[in-house]
Structure 1
Amino acid sequence: MKTIRVVFILLFCLVISANGFVSLDIVKSAGDNNNEVSKLIATANKIGYTRWVEFLLSSMPNADLVNLKADDFISYLEALDKNLKRVPWRDRINDNLFYYYILPHRVSQEPLENFTSLYADTLFSLIKNTKNMREAALKINSWAFTQMEYKPTSRWDQSAVVTINRGFGRCEEMAILTIKALRTVCIPARMVYTPWWPFTNSNHAWVEVWADGRWYALGGAELADLDNAWFSVPSKRAAIIKSIVYGRMKDGAEPIYKRDKDFTVINSTPNYTEITELFVGVRKNNQPVESTSVSINVYNYSSLRPVGLKKTDKDGFVKFIVGKTDLFVYGFKDSLWGYKVWRSSEKLQDTVIVNISKREFPDTSFWLYTRRIKKMKSKNSTYKPNRDSLKLLQHQHFCTINIVDSTLIETLTEKDKKLVRIFYNAKAKGKSFIKFYRKLSNNEKEIFIDYFNSLPPKDIVSSDTTGLLKELKAVDRSHKLIKEGIPDSVVKENLLSDRILFEHFAYWRYFIQQRYLSLKKRNIRETVDTVFLEVKNNIGENKEKGYFGPEKNPEDVCRTKTGTKVERYILIVGILRSIGIPAKIKWDYNGFLYWNSGWKEKSFDKKTEKEKEVYLSLKFDSDGRDITKKQRYYYDYGITRFGEYPDMLDVPIDTTDGRRIISLDDKPAYCITGWRNGYGDTYLRIKKVKASLDTTDVLIETGIPEKIRPGDLLVREYKGFDAKDYRIKDNELKTGNVLIIVFDTETEASKSTLTKARKTINNFPGKVFFFGFTENKQNAESFLKKIGISYSKVFIVSKEIYRTRWRMRNLPSIIYLKDGKCIFWVEGLFLHLSRLIEDFS
């Protein structure tokens, strides 16, 4: 023990002497990877990267510290240094731009990777002859377009390399790839996002790039000019827009929303829209209340979603810089709460007072109105990409990574279907997986199939064959240790899978099994108690993770001997799975569940297990019609608790027999539903619900509110639709139900809106006319086919026709006619289109 202590002291002294700054906390956070951290520091000091490494380590997330390899980091720094010395704009990059917007090795919560050293030369070759940073940024963005397309994925971030290998990603992953590519050629870039849109469901993330002395908005991997992306209009309607920066920044020209020791959040709202400085005062018995949690919230996905959260100062006030949209302002401290609906106005400054007290949250309903955007002038862009050429390159990339045709599945046996599905989801990794699979024994092949079929597709393409055989053998051992009689679905999802929550994915099972197999006892209850105490007594708890980096996986937590509360639960679940007990994280992340003739719960916050569950059964009524079978959690309704802020619960739901029976605890909760009009204004209904031992239905009123103002469903006055050029007769538009859809094949707004509503559009009880703004009919048909929309005929429309003749401003533009009368006309990103169609059809 004395020898170990001496070695550690010497190691720490080595780290300190290398640069004079690294704290003991950083070394401790690396756990048993501290030798790699020390090697990185020593090497950086030797070759002249000391300041760079100082900056990166000072804000590095624990998941990176425990997984970094010194040689990989040095190669990253060398590649960046090489490009910095050869780009023509190097003299225009000051220290602030370099350290905060070029040097950081990560953008968000994506896994650790070495993108820059892999692509430094490739990307430099694209921009070496460009005239300026602006032209270079567009070149890089075009390259990113050829590597991927937009497609929704699981909620945890994938790396830039995985996005390339997979060929698609959601908006944040598009931004991660583009930003890393821009930084690789030393163009300052950062991710910008709006946490939740106020006018439709969902949110969005994009890129800001520095050129010509200011920040420009850029749709990552989208073919549009700077400051001319599809979200230009939506961003003007946002409640708040934020930029995330690696490290703790000092005050500068931009307003700081939040400053942490490891990251900084900039309030970028003034870059996109008119703002109001909103001062919120909190009072109790007419006296100011310090340290009250104040959240500003918008309606999104069936709940009130916080887009800002701060604590009041000694005078009971807090300030937010927000856009011109209504907000639900909520204050909470020590079980006291209060709220106020803030109505936006043209004021540059406004004040709202929230009175807090201890009382029940009442059943209530109210409108939240969103900002209307007047006609915007089109920007004249000189950016004219060769779309056909870039799409051809994109197609060639997709052909390269898609080594398996998914249509083959229809002709195969069940076993072969599973195998083909694995290789299809592996994308660019498929060839190495096939080669690995062929060398396995028959028993190992069965384990391979079962293991990879238990993983989400994103984890399959993130996997590698290095260490895989060892992991498969550990999975097999876990399976052999399980008790008989456990349902196959429970085993697949909660024992075979190495995915537990949103943690850094890696092969952790062999390591954990070797370390903790001895904890297995005679029965499940005794084993769980032993594992629980082992983690509780030997793994320290960190209060919070910070913004950057993923959560740690079981091996990471074990190696660092610390973790957040959730990460400690992840370790417990990992140990239990490795020794043959199905387990998962509880729906509220405040405990874990394990299988013992049914799911049992355990938590650090509880001394005894909860033996009985209580239930909540909901029945939904819309204007006298029972619509319960149609209601989807998250999309149509949600269960929310009002604590420090409104928090939507991720609850388990039984939809057997068309009912909506929710497993909950006995604490009060609230069912929230919302109805949006044509502008995205929301009529909220909040009703208190309480779970009980029986399943008596609680009636929830939904549907169209009585007080709809004239014009709420029409973005502008409907004066008819002139489609004679397309041989569509007036009578066709004036008889029965008619849906007119005008879309842009190149924008995420059109793609997302129509993708979300494809089932409703395909089942529409009437005629549907499609008009595509694109270069040729084939593009329009391919667009609709790819997102799964059936069509009989598609027309091509020019910007001149849809803007001048049809008076449409933003695409998609959707008009619903019933016997010639316009029922609704909506435009732009509108992710609740299916609900609106169903309400009126």
Structure 2
Amino acid sequence: MIFKKFICLFLLAASISISGCSSLLVPVQISPYTNRVDEILKTSGSNRPQLEKFLTGFDSPEKKQAAQFIAANLPPCDRAGLSSGLLTDNLEYAFLARATTPWGKDVPWSDFLHYVLPHRVSQEKAVEWRKPFYTELLPVVSKCNSMEEAVLAVNRWCFSKTGFKSTQRWDQNPLMTINRGWGRCEEAVILTVCALRSVGIPARQAMVPAWQHSNDNHTWTEVKIGGKWHYIESANPDYGLDHAWFSGSARKAPLVISYAYGQLTNPEEPILKRTFGCTLLNTTARYAPVSRTTIAVRDNSGKPVPETAVFFSVFNYGSFSPVAVKTTDAEGKTDILLGPGSVLVSAAQGNASAYTGSTWIPGEQKKRDNILLSLTPENKPEGNILFRFDYNDSQAASAPPVNSEGAKKATEDTLKKSRLDRLQGMKDAASRFNPDLGPQIALAGLNVPQILLALNTCPTQFLPELKAEIKALAPADLICATGSELVSNTVLAVQSRAEAEDAGLNYNDKIFNEYVLNPRIMYEQMRPWRSVLHTEFNFDKGKKIAHILAEIGKTAKNLDSSPRGPLGSSLSPLGVYESGTASNNSEICLFATAAMRAAGIPARYLDEQGWTEYFDGKDWQPFYPQSPELTGNRNATDESRSYYSPWQTIKFRLPGYGKEDKHARYFRDFTVSRLYGRKFFRILEKTINGQLDEKNNIWEISVPTGENYLISARRNNKNEPNISVIKIIQAPIGTLNRQNTTRK
């Protein structure tokens, strides 16, 4: 799984406690959620009537309070788009599971609210999973003699629905994962947590944001049985409770985070961070040795620096990956509980910053040393450092071997074969219907009938464009698209192109297919936007491109801010438009890109730059949604000037990689990473051109000028990285040549 990105409701601190008690409830008339619910309704836009219908649809005090709890913590994407029907069914079936399972009523009220009732697990699109899961799984768990037995039975059921395979950066919802028959670890977690919650078992997601002993990360499922949390490998029946392939790896975890919907009061584990609609718990101590460290941030004169973000990063995928961020208090201090190994600790304020490595090796040190960050003007995080994590750990040696498909082959292979047979049947049907397009249609998994329906019902004159759309769509989009949505998107895209041509904007089919017809822009969850946005943004009444861009810019500038936590996806373009809100610049750019495409203007989002581009018939031009007056100005900011100017080229040979050795690879062995706000690094994935001269073992890389660093590492015999960090200003050590180049 590609790791992704991490980054409030105030529970009433009254004498009446709702934590851990299933019978004592806060009366609805003095509900602690009232103020937050009001804020949610104000930022729900045109979806407000749906939320109000949900909130007023229950008679019992328990259900009323549960509805307020869900509504008070709705992420922007949910409050802008979820129907009252989905939310009501989710609540009713959660209470039904509470009443009909042997353990349901024994689950404390607080655990029920935070770990059974929630309609979502992570950043997947919220869908109606609870009713079908409850219907199918209730007979399964009814045969079980204990909650533990039920957990394992549910996990086996999940295994029958999906296997492990890397997918895409945005999360599949549980129905998508079943349709596809595959999912990465986080998608297996989403499926498993939903399945457990559907039968009243408290469950949540836990994860290591980034490993330090290897690349990548991992996430798994935690379940609460008899008042104690346990872990399982999601959708994998190979292991029981607290026993999985990652048990040994977790002993070297720098940090483990568990997620709770809403704001927990008096949690059992230390709180890492409270964010909107979610409490992040530091559960590292359940998996690995831990040590607490205190960080003090001082300015250049030695004075405390309050309200400053402190970042903690591990070495992963050839760069420093942030795993946590803490904020200093009034005395300029913060603290954190971390597992063994090394982290980069960084902070910045204005042009002053500080960076230091922190290492704790159990058996060699009693605890992790406290850290002093002295902010220094124009400081650069350059140099060499060894990051360690290896220590003598007998518990890790007893962990089971990796086997993501399970070792009980007789039973599990039968379950797997049944799943694959269903997918093969869909593949055969797709090939019979259209031999040329069959392989692409088959990627829709169990959703193949919807793709076939689209092809069978599409007007003949639009079939070439529909086929182009299907070829361009990612499997994750094919497995959830409906036939009517596909046809509607195609027809409107073709019509908007014709309108653009009438207005004098012309472009070829390749640009049309990729930047007008394609409904996907970046990593957002799909929600059809074209028909609504085309009604508002189009070439009618003799409009030109400038008029439409001005309208889009005006809409973007008038958007209100809506806070977002780690739960819930980014607002879709339609969600931004209908709610009149956005959580960040990325959502604004997604909306602007969709609005331009809806009008027939080719558009794309440059996520690493933070603005959009449109095609004017001759070239790509910058469009800054929140500053439309700067449209087309390539010198609008330092970043745009750098991006549109000739790029800087460096040539280098990494130490330790000889002609007889393996070649250095991007991501695995090195990256060019940008330092953002002088605080943390992020790998350049798209704003970069490069190639390797294999004969001479020399890399040639081109990037825009900026706060870019060449970060590389060679791992020792313990797999610990010796890291080199070089600022790309002058030619780095080993550079043979340096010149300017134009962007490709």
Distance 1:111 1:408 in 2: 27
Residue 257 of structure 1: how far off its partner (Å)? 0.5
Residue 178 of structure 1: how far off its partner (Å)? 0.4
Secondary structure (helix, strand or coil) at the match of 1:240 reads: coil
Q: Which residue matches 2:374? A: 355
Q: Which residue matches 2:12? A: none
Distance 1:210 1:315 in 2: 38
Q: Are the aligned partners of 2:205 and 2:258 in contact in 1 as well (CA < 8 Å)?
A: yes
Residue 404 of structure 1: how far off its partner (Å)? 4.6
Aligned to 2:667, which of 634, 638, 643? Answer: 634
Aligned to 1:679, which of 705, 718, 734? Answer: 718
Distance 2:428 2:725 in 1: 44
Q: Which residue matches 1:581? A: 601
Mapping 1:271-290, distance limit 5 Å = 271-284=286-299, 285-290=301-306
Q: Are the aligned partners of 2:537 and 2:548 in contact in 1 as well (CA < 8 Å)?
A: no
Q: Which residue matches 1:128? A: 142
Q: Are the aligned partners of 1:290 and 1:315 in contact in 2 as well (CA < 8 Å)?
A: yes
Residue 224 of structure 1: how far off its partner (Å)? 1.1
Q: Which residue matches 1:645? A: 680
Distance 2:135 2:733 in 1: 63
Q: Alignment identity in percent?
A: 23
Q: Are the aligned partners of 2:553 and 2:626 in contact in 1 as well (CA < 8 Å)?
A: no
Given the alignment of the two structures, is residue 614 of structure 1 paired with residue 646 of structure 2, yes or no? yes
Secondary structure (helix, strand or coil) at the match of 1:469 reads: helix
Q: Are the aligned partners of 2:360 and 2:368 in contact in 1 as well (CA < 8 Å)?
A: no
Distance 2:725 2:400 in 1: 46
Q: Are the aligned partners of 1:617 and 1:698 in contact in 2 as well (CA < 8 Å)?
A: no
Q: Which residue matches 1:744? A: none
Distance 2:539 2:430 in 1: 45
Residue 149 of structure 1: how far off its partner (Å)? 0.7
Q: Which residue matches 2:125? A: 111
Offset from partner CA, 1:45-101 (integer Å, 9 cap, x none): 479621110110000012111221212322222222222112111243111211111
Residue 227 of structure 1: how far off its partner (Å)? 0.8
Offset from partner CA, 1:229-288 (integer Å, 9 cap, x none): 000011110111001111011132210111134110000001111111011112223332
Q: Which residue matches 1:554? A: 573
Aligned to 2:383, which of 364, 375, 389? Answer: 364
For residues 228 and 190 of structure 1, do their structure 2 counterparts lie closer, same or farther at Cα, with a shift above 3 Å needed? Answer: same
Mapping 1:650-669, distance limit 5 Å = 650-655=685-690, 660-664=700-704, 666-669=705-708
Mapping 1:304-315, distance limit 5 Å = 304-315=320-331
Distance 1:27 1:36 in 2: 10
Aligned to 1:440, which of 458, 466, 482? Answer: 458
Q: Which residue matches 2:728? A: 689
Distance 1:688 1:588 in 2: 19
TM-score scaled by length of structure 1 = 0.75
Q: Are the aligned partners of 1:403 and 1:431 in contact in 2 as well (CA < 8 Å)?
A: no
Given the alignment of the two structures, is residue 591 of structure 1 paired with residue 611 of structure 2, yes or no? yes
Q: Are the aligned partners of 1:618 and 1:700 in contact in 2 as well (CA < 8 Å)?
A: no
Secondary structure (helix, strand or coil) at the match of 2:94 reads: helix
Unmatched segments (≥5 aa) in structure 2: 1-27, 636-643, 694-698, 737-744
**Which stretch shows the higher mean deviation, 243-252 or 477-486?**
477-486
Return the letter of the residue paired with 1:257.
Answer: L
Return the letter of the residue paired with 2:372.
Answer: I
Distance 1:581 1:690 in 2: 38
Residue 576 of structure 1: how far off its partner (Å)? 0.8
For residues 522 and 276 of structure 1, do their structure 2 counterparts lie closer, same or farther at Cα, with a shift above 3 Å needed? Answer: same
Q: Which residue matches 1:767? A: none
Q: Which residue matches 1:716? A: none
Q: Are the aligned partners of 2:612 and 2:624 in contact in 1 as well (CA < 8 Å)?
A: yes
Distance 1:101 1:589 in 2: 38
Q: Are the aligned partners of 2:99 and 2:105 in contact in 1 as well (CA < 8 Å)?
A: no
TM-score scaled by length of structure 2 = 0.84
Residue 350 of structure 1: how far off its partner (Å)? 2.8
Distance 1:655 1:680 in 2: 27
Q: Are the aligned partners of 2:243 and 2:400 in contact in 1 as well (CA < 8 Å)?
A: no
For residues 677 and 405 of structure 1, do their structure 2 counterparts lie closer, same or farther at Cα, with a shift above 3 Å needed? Answer: farther
Q: Are the aligned partners of 1:584 and 1:594 in contact in 2 as well (CA < 8 Å)?
A: yes
For residues 177 and 534 of structure 1, do their structure 2 counterparts lie closer, same or farther at Cα, with a shift above 3 Å needed? Answer: same
Distance 2:344 2:291 in 1: 15
Offset from partner CA, 1:692-735 (integer Å, 9 cap, x none): xxxxx866679xxxxxxxxxxxxxxxxxxxxxxxxxxxxxxxxx
Residue 632 of structure 1: how far off its partner (Å)? 4.7
Q: Which residue matches 1:231? A: 246
Q: Which residue matches 1:530? A: 550
Given the alignment of the two structures, is residue 504 of structure 1 paired with residue 525 of structure 2, yes or no? yes
Q: Which residue matches 1:822? A: none
Q: Which residue matches 2:538? A: 517
Aligned to 2:473, which of 435, 440, 455? Answer: 455
Secondary structure (helix, strand or coil) at the match of 1:50 reads: helix
Offset from partner CA, 1:582-614 (integer Å, 9 cap, x none): 212223252112223333223357663215323
Distance 2:729 2:646 in 1: 9
Residue 354 of structure 1: how far off its partner (Å)? 1.6
Residue 516 of structure 1: how far off its partner (Å)? 1.4
Mapping 1:383-402, distance limit 5 Å = 387-402=409-424
Given the alignment of the two structures, is residue 270 of structure 1 paired with residue 285 of structure 2, yes or no? yes
Return the letter of the residue paired with 1:610.
Answer: R
Distance 2:561 2:589 in 1: 11
Distance 1:323 1:250 in 2: 25
Given the alignment of the two structures, is residue 252 of structure 1 paired with residue 249 of structure 2, yes or no? no
Secondary structure (helix, strand or coil) at the match of 1:287 reads: coil
Q: Which residue matches 1:478? A: 496
Q: Are the aligned partners of 1:195 and 1:307 in contact in 2 as well (CA < 8 Å)?
A: yes
Q: Are the aligned partners of 1:236 and 1:272 in contact in 2 as well (CA < 8 Å)?
A: yes
Q: Which residue matches 2:441? A: 423
Secondary structure (helix, strand or coil) at the match of 1:251 reads: coil
Distance 2:534 2:676 in 1: 40
Distance 2:479 2:268 in 1: 41
Return the letter of the residue paired with 2:672.
Answer: G
Distance 1:386 1:374 in 2: 28
Secondary structure (helix, strand or coil) at the match of 1:288 reads: coil
Q: Are the aligned partners of 2:247 and 2:400 in contact in 1 as well (CA < 8 Å)?
A: no
Secondary structure (helix, strand or coil) at the match of 1:84 reads: helix
Distance 2:314 2:149 in 1: 37
**Which stretch shows the higher mean deviation, 435-444 or 121-130?**
435-444
Secondary structure (helix, strand or coil) at the match of 2:538 reads: helix
Distance 2:603 2:522 in 1: 12
Return the letter of the residue paired with 2:245.
Answer: W
- Identify which of structures 1 and 2 has the higher relative contact order when contacts are C-alpha pairs closer than 8 Å and 6+ apart: 2
Q: Are the aligned partners of 2:612 and 2:625 in contact in 1 as well (CA < 8 Å)?
A: no
Secondary structure (helix, strand or coil) at the match of 2:483 reads: coil
For residues 622 and 62 of structure 1, do their structure 2 counterparts lie closer, same or farther at Cα, with a shift above 3 Å needed? Answer: closer
Offset from partner CA, 1:200-225 (integer Å, 9 cap, x none): 11011101111132111110011211
Residue 452 of structure 1: how far off its partner (Å)? 1.9
Q: Are the aligned partners of 1:401 and 1:427 in contact in 2 as well (CA < 8 Å)?
A: yes
**Which stretch shows the higher mean deviation, 342-351 or 223-232?**
342-351
Distance 2:330 2:210 in 1: 30
Q: Which residue matches 1:495? A: 516
Offset from partner CA, 1:150-198 (integer Å, 9 cap, x none): 1111111010010000001111001000000011111111100011101
For residues 613 and 520 of structure 1, do their structure 2 counterparts lie closer, same or farther at Cα, with a shift above 3 Å needed? Answer: farther
Offset from partner CA, 1:649-672 (integer Å, 9 cap, x none): 3433334796744342x4332121
RMSD: 3.1
**Which stretch shows the higher mean deviation, 398-407 or 555-564?**
398-407
Secondary structure (helix, strand or coil) at the match of 2:56 reads: helix
Return the letter of the residue paired with 2:714.
Answer: W
For residues 499 and 234 of structure 1, do their structure 2 counterparts lie closer, same or farther at Cα, with a shift above 3 Å needed? Answer: same
Return the letter of the residue paired with 2:465.
Answer: I
Return the letter of the residue paired with 1:619.
Answer: K
**Which stretch shows the higher mean deviation, 275-284 or 74-83?**
74-83
For residues 386 and 83 of structure 1, do their structure 2 counterparts lie closer, same or farther at Cα, with a shift above 3 Å needed? Answer: farther
For residues 290 and 194 of structure 1, do their structure 2 counterparts lie closer, same or farther at Cα, with a shift above 3 Å needed? Answer: same
Aligned to 1:59, which of 73, 76, 84? Answer: 73
For residues 115 and 589 of structure 1, do their structure 2 counterparts lie closer, same or farther at Cα, with a shift above 3 Å needed? Answer: farther
Q: Are the aligned partners of 2:477 and 2:526 in contact in 1 as well (CA < 8 Å)?
A: yes
Q: Are the aligned partners of 2:206 and 2:222 in contact in 1 as well (CA < 8 Å)?
A: yes
